[in-house]
Structure 1
Amino acid sequence: MMPPDEPPPALAPSVQPSSSEGIYSTPSGNVDLWAEAYKLVTDREPELMADYNTHLATLQESATTGGDLFTPQFVQGIVQQLFEAREKKQWRVTLMGKDIRIREQAEGLAKFLLWSDPIVKNAVSTQPYAALAWSGISLLLPLLTSSTTQNEAMLEGFNLIGHVQVYWRICEITYLGTERRTAYQELIEPIAKLYSYIIEYQAHAICHLSSAQLSRAWRNITDENKWAGKAREIDELSKRSREYISPLNENEIRERWNAQLKEIQTSHQIERDMVQTMKEGIQDEKERRLFEDLARAAGTYERYKNINPRRVHGTCKWFLEDKRFCRWRDSTSSHLLWLSAGPGRGKSVLTRSLIDEGLLTTNPTTTTITSSRIVTSVTTSTVCYFFFKDGGDGRMDGAHALCTILHQLFKNPSTSRLIEHALPKHKENSKTLAEKFSELWRILVDSASSPGAGEIVCILDALDECKEDSRREIIETLKDFCCPRDGPPSPSRLKFLITSRPYDDLEWAFGKYPTTAAYWRFDGDEKSDQISQEIDLVIDARVQDIAAGFTDDGKRQISERLKSTKNRTYLWLHLTFDIIQNTPSRYSKLSDIQKLLSDLPSEVSDAYEKILTSYLGLKLVVEDILREDSIGIDLQWGTQGTALQIASGGGYKEIVQMLLDKGADVNINRE
């Protein structure tokens, strides 16, 4: 085992340790690693910890106990006040931004806070420094008001810290608080050092957000990459500390650790589905059965969104800054926007970013935390979505899409009361309601027309992958909604965004919409030049990942070669990078990658065929299909035909069988 790379400094005379080794001990004689960690970080970052102490002092109801971080009574009083404040009243954490990932991380931290309450209660009197460290989220959340990218990185770090704390708490209980303690004495110093960096991270975050009169003599963190770097530093320290544990014992701890994290995640899912989405008002048995039927029919719809990568910063502007999108987004009445574009234009990545980054809304989110629950309310548009996927689970038709949208609508705290509009139909049809498109559509329109429903935005991604008969029904229904034959337009604020490839039947169906309809067309292929420029940003970002060990000049050469390809698309880029990433041993040198890139034709259409005629390239495409990635199983690849036809022609029996098992159509003719 390697010794610690940097032993902690000796304790200062002003702090009186209670053991001869210089490490704090609890009344029971167990090591108080968190108390020692506070000493270490104070020696390392005195200005930061002085300001942290100043912020903690502002939380006191009175100054009678003093304001010294090295006074256990002071620390105990702060933790007790934090806990009692949440017991007596609700916390409200309002985020003024629009990024859903920020909100989800804040909710995850709040759930972790509730899970760790027993730890804080048990430690506050005997180990106040440990209790304060486990209360870091209690200090953070009331200060969090902005959904900035920097705050997202900060919260990601807090989530990582929580996982690290859970791991080492298990280790402390198992090895440092029992008869095994003597055998693991060498763990004490590295864990104390690790804990000191956790405290430093918490102090940086809380002082960064604090409105107290702080000195700022320490170096403030103002960049998302630096927050990520601080978190990685903690993760690396944790990994190095694990080297002191035998592999057998480490496996035991890891199993218990994974079980604890799963318990937190499961509790979070229950909280979302039972508290956040159903609220107190949805306790009726009839409503519960309806909600369960919709959930069962909807299936695991989130994964079809999440299989698409997140957009690289600076991309999707070809759509987000276009006046047609802005006009549709800002309209205050029901409207339909159809975005069509060829394969590989980034439609699904765009759709995911609209949902995850909250790009359809600008209003605040409020997370209310009580002693036993978390309730999140969003004063904003309600965004519901469905990603059609050829070969995906479920029916992948209009009824499936509407079940998913209604499930999300009734799950949202601000619109959960609208479930009352579905009860009569559910009573009439029971479980078969989930199969009846017209009945589900009526429920959606009635819900959206209800007073106080607000704006409801429905996104249907990849409509071309919906079953043909069903997509015709969807388009006809939307036409009647946008331009009703009889009577005035719907008073609702129900908007639709449809994305698809520009197939002939879709062009013909949407072409029948009258000019008076509340409908706009957005042809993404008109933006091909701008999309190609944005692909260059993705190339630069991805090259940093796949060529992390290469020189800057080597990275530049790879980027320039990829950017020289004409008519490049995201799909082509995805296939090219997959070849490199899935065979790292073949492309570990710059010369290997240069040869691969030089062998690729300069035209994208030719590159597709060259990639797919190799066993490896074709296998990568098929693996994407089997992962339910964004490539349709029966997609025509230029003159080569479908993946099944290419595999059959190449004699790749294994791939043929994989595609047949997945449901590939053997009767499709080459285009």
Structure 2
Amino acid sequence: MPRGLRSLFQKGFHRHGSAKDREGAKEQEQDGCDVRTVTTGRFPASRERKDATHVSAASIDISRPIPVSEPTSPKGIPTATSTSTPRLPAAPPTDSSDIELSADADGATAGLPVRLWDRAYNDLKQEEPELVDAYEKILSRQLEDGPGSAVPESQPNTIAQNNSDARRRQMAQLIYAGLDKTEREFKIKEGLGVAVDVVLSARSIISSAIQAVPQAALPWTGICVALEMLANPITATEANRNGIDYVVKRMNWYWSLSSSLFKHSDGHGSELSGVRRELENQFVDLYKAFLLYQVKSVCCYYRNRGLVFLRHMVKLDDWNDDLNAIRDAENLFHQDSKAFTAQQTNSYLEQLFRNQMSEKDQQCLRDLRLTDPRDDKIRIEQTKGGLLPDSYHWILDNSGFQRWRDRPESSLLWIKGDPGKGKTMLLCGIVDELERGIVASGQNHNLAYFFCQATDSRINNAIAVLRGLIHLLVRQQPSLLSHLRKKYDDAGKSLFEDTNAWVALSDTFGKMLESPDLKTTYLIIDALDECVADLPKLLDFIVHVSSDRVKWLLSSRNEPDIERKLRCDERRARLSLELKRNAEQVSRAVDAFIDDKLSKLELLQDDTVLKNRVRDILHKKANGTFLWVALVVQELNKEEVESWHILQIVEELPPDLDGMYDRMLNDIKRRERDSEFCRRILSTATVAYRPLHLAEIGGLSGLPEQVLKSMENVRRVVAKCGSFLTIRDDQLYLIHQSARDYLSERASTLLFPCGVAMTHHDIFIRSLHLMSNKLRRDMYSLGAPGCPIKNVRVPDPDPLAAVRYSCLYWVDHLYHSVSDTSTHRDDLLQDDRVVHTFLKTKYLYWLEALSLLRAMSEGVIAIRQLEGLLVSMKPQNGGKSD
């Protein structure tokens, strides 16, 4: 903490008295006591000190500099306080070892707490220039004429804006002086409030008594209204004095917290730098809320008292609401800071884990990692617009969830619900809460999770689920890696990829979960219905894992096959989101989701009546479906929508997902000039094996060259595809699995007029064309053919960007474009046709591209798949196939 500010809080304030007072002070100084030094106590003051010597804050000389020396308050000198005036608590001492040094605005060296305070003040000054200017004019007048002086309209702002240390001291002094200035007024209101409370408490009795005298009813009603209005200033003053005490104390606490919370980490700090910056920005926002409360309070203390009385009478200054907003911001910050602390802890542990691992261990984990579920979770939350606590908090109070979480005998909970009910975000919230609980309680538990998505071949199969869960589990409990190493040392990377991968991984994972040293472990799998490969095997594995230390949390749609496999009983429970009591909770969560989205809709910000009407309509139509609300909000956010369109749009929107999808598809059909482009993009995105990049979708869907010449052109065409698609970091995603189901089934006649196989064929042909044009020798200009792949850095721009997908999946599209009855299959695979020609001219370049993409194993699988197609070809004209 800066020396000046520390001096302010620990030394107290100077007072000016008569010569006799100064003489007495001099004598006491000789006895080791300094009457100028006051220990700031906690509010409210003890009754035992009521008669203690009181240093009036109104007698402070704000312009007088506070000495740098720092004597402590001697024993025997009473605390300067009163029974009604809140005291600013002493700031904690600053440990210079915990401060990140930076240059302050005035050239002095300042600590991290100082920098955060200054950022908050400067930001507040930009956001509330009139309010802060009024505050600084008050301060200017106090510096010129002393505390308590009136502030004229013509008062200039003479505050030095580059002296941040003085700003902090002066704010504290102004609050003291303002509280003392209004203390007599508060005592009068306090006494008046007692009388008003007595009358209002007897209102019902008096009202009953005068019912027999009708002519007295109207005057009595007027008296009650007047008394209630009179009570408002009384309660407002008390609320402010209590609030300012809370705000100053909490700000001092956060001042001390900032040094330890935001201290730079060594070794792994860069991994969390983005999260740290976001949390620091949130910390500054919290500081701004504190400063805003203090600035408004100072302006209130020095404003014309009659005007203040009138403002409080009509509740223009609602101090309780302001304080509640601060507390809400604190709660949110506490949640996020806990998550940040947990990430810091995990980062430390992972760094320690990596340091202790052998190179062989690290290589094993690199080969195991297909995707990091932690990254998938962040991506999913960002794609869906962020995780809203009110959308999942209800589950924490659900008895079924609590039983699963807390009771050893409850080993499995299956959460099931219809599409769009928010299951994925519900599980994201549960993961966050479990992580916070583990960190806060110091429990030695493991938490591993996986999010299935049918539209992404990397995370839509049972093997990928096991790889993701093992990846997270081993990072938290490294000793379990020994079970995996036994098989990995023999097989290498092929252990995770060959035809026996499921057998090997399920056996290994089973041994991990049965290990006697396994900690209590939460295993969470979202969207089981989107596990399109080997789901029955995965369900059998889950059911047969018997360990009191393993708890499974699963989610899926209402699929009968899943229900039959899980065989719910005393140990395995299900939680249906359609069950009445749960449906009511989901509906309330959806209502909170609607309120949050409408609060951010710019077109509704200046029309409260319209916002309320739209909210009411959406509440009635949403039917407990988050996805429906998200689609509506996207519709309202379109550039062509005006505020006068909104009510008509929400009234016309169908109240179900399929109806919304029908409407979106009809809008695409009406785009005469671009409807064909949209059809191509949607059909390509629907059958693709993973989300496509903007650089890939244009060429694979066959858009014309005038569109492909600019990435922005492709983005604009994608935007014309309604709300079926969303873009995140230039990656294209279908908005939801239900959208893919709709496009594959109900919209199949429009998207796939010649059948899905023909779309696969078109993507296959375009992939060969793109690779033939793009692939060449030494794509990354490495110069040295033997360069280790770990040393390769991807150029910017990446010359493989447009063909990454094609290199990996062209054989898959070929496979699904042909069948035993296909009339064009043999034409594709005959000598000197497209496949043969590509392999003759580009085979080595394709292998090089696969190597640069770190996907040689996928290339091996593709060659085997291609070989299988050739072997199964029927001989033509009685001849033999080669």
Same fold per superposition (TM over 0.5) = yes
1:130 aligned to 109, 125, 133, which one? 109
Change (3 A) 1:285 1:499: same
Render the CA deviation track for 1:291-340: whole Å, top value 9, x for unaligned. 22233554743444433444534433564333222211112257122211
Is 1:540 matched up with 2:595? yes
**For residues 99-138 of structure 1, what are the structure 2 equivalents within 5 Å?**
116=100, 119=101, 130-131=109-110, 133-134=111-112
Say which SS state the counterpart of residue 460 (structure 1) adopts.
Answer: strand
**For residues 217-616 of structure 1, what are the structure 2 equivalents within 5 Å?**
228=285, 230-231=287-288, 275-276=349-350, 278-279=352-353, 282-296=356-370, 298=372, 300-306=375-381, 307-316=383-392, 319-333=395-409, 335-358=411-434, 362-365=437-440, 378-392=442-456, 394-412=458-476, 415-435=477-497, 436-467=501-532, 469-481=533-545, 489-490=546-547, 492-510=548-566, 513=567, 515=569, 518-526=571-579, 527-547=582-602, 549-565=605-621, 567-581=623-637, 583=638, 585-589=639-643, 591-602=644-655, 605-615=658-668
Render the CA deviation track for 1:184-221: whole Å, top value 9, x for unaligned. xxxx9766669968999998755135899xxxxxxxxx
Render the CA deviation track for 1:133-174: whole Å, top value 9, x for unaligned. 22669xxxxxxxxxxxxxxxxxxx89997999xxxxxxxxxx
Counterpart code for 1:623 = T
Change (3 A) 1:407 1:51: farther
Change (3 A) 1:337 1:269: closer
Say which SS state the counterpart of residue 650 (structure 2) adopts.
Answer: helix
In structure 2, what is the equivalent of residue 82 of structure 1? 95
In structure 2, what is the equivalent of residue 622 of structure 1? 725
Say which SS state the counterpart of residue 635 (structure 1) adopts.
Answer: helix
Say which SS state the counterpart of residue 567 (structure 1) adopts.
Answer: coil
Contact preservation (8 Å) 1:561, 1:597: yes
Offset at residue 594 of structure 1 (A): 1.0
Counterpart code for 1:427 = D
In structure 2, what is the equivalent of residue 218 of structure 1? none
Contact preservation (8 Å) 1:297, 1:404: yes
Contact preservation (8 Å) 1:388, 1:460: yes
Contact preservation (8 Å) 1:278, 1:416: no
Offset at residue 348 of structure 1 (A): 0.6
Contact preservation (8 Å) 1:586, 1:592: no
Contact preservation (8 Å) 2:590, 2:626: yes
Cα distance in 1 for partners of 2:436, 2:651 equals 45
Cα distance in 1 for partners of 2:433, 2:371 equals 26
Is 1:208 matched up with 2:263? no
Offset at residue 445 of structure 1 (A): 3.4
Change (3 A) 1:160 1:604: farther
Contact preservation (8 Å) 1:341, 1:501: yes
Cα distance in 2 for partners of 1:628, 1:335 equals 34
Say which SS state the counterpart of residue 441 (structure 1) adopts.
Answer: helix
Change (3 A) 1:337 1:620: same
Contact preservation (8 Å) 1:308, 1:629: no
TM-score in terms of structure 1 length:
0.55
Change (3 A) 1:528 1:447: same
TM-score in terms of structure 2 length:
0.43
Is 1:635 matched up with 2:737? no
Cα distance in 1 for partners of 2:254, 2:38 equals 12
Offset at residue 494 of structure 1 (A): 1.0
Of 313-322 and 387-396, the range deviating more from structure 2: 313-322
Offset at residue 288 of structure 1 (A): 1.8
Change (3 A) 1:282 1:535: same
Contact preservation (8 Å) 2:121, 2:291: no
Cα distance in 2 for partners of 1:294, 1:195 equals 58
Render the CA deviation track for 1:338-361: whole Å, top value 9, x for unaligned. 211110111011011011233x77
Offset at residue 577 of structure 1 (A): 0.3
Cα distance in 1 for partners of 2:763, 2:248 equals 53
Structure 2 unpaired stretches of 5+: 15-36, 43-64, 72-90, 124-158, 173-246, 258-280, 293-341, 669-718, 754-758, 768-804, 818-882
Say which SS state the counterpart of residue 362 (structure 1) adopts.
Answer: helix
Offset at residue 289 of structure 1 (A): 1.7
Say which SS state the counterpart of residue 392 (structure 1) adopts.
Answer: coil
Cα distance in 1 for partners of 2:551, 2:634 equals 37
Contact preservation (8 Å) 1:383, 1:458: yes
Cα distance in 2 for partners of 1:198, 1:390 equals 60
User: What's the C-alpha RMSD, in Å, of the aligned pairs?
Assistant: 5.4
Offset at residue 438 of structure 1 (A): 3.3
Render the CA deviation track for 1:389-424: whole Å, top value 9, x for unaligned. 122262532221222222212223xx2333233221
Higher RCO, 1 vs 2 (CA within 8 Å, ≥6 residues apart):
1
Say which SS state the counterpart of residue 740 (structure 2) adopts.
Answer: coil
Offset at residue 387 of structure 1 (A): 0.6
Cα distance in 1 for partners of 2:667, 2:169 equals 49
Change (3 A) 1:295 1:607: closer
Change (3 A) 1:211 1:579: closer
Change (3 A) 1:204 1:637: farther
In structure 2, what is the equivalent of residue 71 of structure 1? 68
Contact preservation (8 Å) 1:388, 1:465: yes
In structure 1, what is the equivalent of residue 683 of structure 2? none
In structure 2, what is the equivalent of residue 172 of structure 1? none
Contact preservation (8 Å) 2:724, 2:734: no
Cα distance in 2 for partners of 1:549, 1:390 equals 38
Counterpart code for 2:358 = D
Contact preservation (8 Å) 1:386, 1:460: yes
Offset at residue 573 of structure 1 (A): 0.6
Structure 1 unpaired stretches of 5+: 1-33, 56-67, 87-112, 138-156, 165-187, 213-223, 236-267, 367-377, 482-488
Say which SS state the counterpart of residue 637 (structure 1) adopts.
Answer: helix
Render the CA deviation track for 1:6-29: whole Å, top value 9, x for unaligned. xxxxxxxxxxxxxxxxxxxxxxxx
Of 298-307 and 342-351, the range deviating more from structure 2: 298-307
Change (3 A) 1:504 1:208: same
